[in-house]
């Protein structure tokens, strides 16, 4: 059984191991494969029957040229890089990795918020640059500091990750307003309740996005929805970049309507130099790393191996359909 990993570096830059997958066949791991050169993708797949991909696209043109493929393992939760419908037509099983990064992504959303509230990185640099030593007072701060207790966090998308963020927010003394297409009323409490989207937008001091990218959510944070929010709202997004109309958010940041934004995702990744958010006021942008703690990546690797083992045993798990 020949196995190829098309782009393994982001999952495993060297601090975890492919050994469990390598035990299942003759395995070749490439750090990176072209996102645009389909011939390179086809050549690297070669005669492999098992293909793992993270972000390397596997469109119909590749699948048609590689009829020997029996299994595609997506090394992520999102599987839009694969033409799943075509794969299913060719009898290829496609699996993804659900739920591996719930705690990490929820934690990161709160990390973005805390950085906005306290500007810890900035003040650390200021101290090391001698500003505290030179200060006439016993302390200083160069940005307004924000206490979260008593404020409201609106969470759009209250699945596993949204709930993880919500639990931490409640521990900080925040009330949670949740919006979800499939509300679970059992999760409601004195500190957490479901509300219509317009209520979430208008009543929240912080709006956190944890929803998937669907046609109906594409660009859901835009000029019109931002106008429904409180003046001075904080917006967090470590879900999917295209949920936000970036020029609209940049305009709102620059006008002060939105006090700050914390983003781990943007519409095109890696980010392009002309992205308007790069020059917007009070906008923290990190390079899509919410998912990347070692513990989370190890969990992803373990599930990837379990998925392949289940397929080879004739009982696929975490299978996705087109």
Cα separation, 80 vs 96, in Å, equals 10
Cα separation, 23 vs 308, in Å, equals 11
Q: Distance between terminal CA atoms of the chain? A: 25
Residues 114 and 120 sit within 8 Å (Cβ to Cβ): yes
* Enclosing H/E stretch for 153: strand 152-156
44 catalytically annotated: no
Q: Of 208, 270, 290, which is closest to residue 244 (Cα–Cα)?
A: 208
319 catalytically annotated: no
299 catalytically annotated: no
Cα separation, 278 vs 283, in Å, equals 8
Cα pseudo-dihedral 54, 56, 61, 67, rounded to 10: -50
The backbone torsions φ and ψ at residue 148, rounded to the nearest 5 degrees and listed phi first, read: -90, -25
Of these residues, 119, 123, 210, 240, which one is catalytic?
240
Residues 276 and 127 sit within 8 Å (Cβ to Cβ): no
Cα separation, 101 vs 11, in Å, equals 12
Distance of CA 197 to the CA centre of its chain: 21
Q: How many CB atoms lie within 10 A of CB 116?
A: 21
Of these residues, 160, 167, 193, 288, which one is catalytic?
288
* Enclosing H/E stretch for 55: none
Residues 262 and 233 sit within 8 Å (Cβ to Cβ): no
Active site residues: 240, 269, 288
């Amino acid at each position: 059984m020949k196995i190829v990993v098309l782009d393994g570096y982001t999952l495993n830059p060297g601090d975890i191991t492919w050994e469990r997958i390598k035990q299942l066949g003759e395995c070749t791991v490439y750090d990176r494969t072209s996102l645009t050169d389909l011939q390179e993708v086809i050549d690297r797949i070669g005669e492999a029957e098992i293909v793992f991909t993270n972000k390397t696209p596997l469109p119909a043109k590749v699948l048609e040229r590689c009829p020997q493929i029996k299994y595609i393992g997506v090394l992520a939760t999102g599987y839009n890089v694969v033409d799943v419908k075509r794969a299913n037509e060719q009898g290829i099983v496609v699996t993804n990795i659900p739920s591996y990064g719930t705690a990490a992504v929820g934690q990161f959303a709160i990390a973005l918020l805390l950085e906005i509230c306290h500007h810890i990185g900035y003040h650390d640099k200021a101290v090391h640059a001698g500003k505290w030593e030179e200060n006439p007072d016993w302390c200083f701060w160069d940005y307004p500091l924000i206490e979260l207790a008593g404020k409201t966090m609106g969470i759009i998308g209250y699945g596993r990750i949204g709930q993880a963020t919500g639990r931490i927010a409640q521990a900080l003394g925040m009330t949670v307003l949740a919006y979800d297409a499939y509300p679970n009323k059992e999760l409601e409490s004195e500190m957490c309740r479901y509300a219509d989207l317009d209520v979430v937008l208008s009543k929240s001091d912080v709006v956190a996005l944890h929803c998937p990218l669907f046609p109906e959510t594409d660009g859901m944070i835009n000029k019109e929805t931002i106008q429904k929010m409180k003046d001075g709202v904080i917006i967090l997004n470590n879900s999917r970049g295209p949920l936000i109309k970036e020029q609209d958010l940049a305009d709102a940041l620059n006008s002060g309507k939105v006090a700050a934004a914390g983003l781990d995702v943007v519409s095109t990744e890696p980010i392009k130099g002309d992205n308007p958010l790069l020059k917007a006021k009070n906008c923290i942008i990190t390079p899509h790393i919410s998912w990347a703690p070692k513990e989370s990546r190890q969990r992803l690797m373990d599930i990837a191996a379990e998925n392949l083992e289940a397929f080879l045993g004739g009982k696929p798990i975490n299978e996705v359909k087109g």
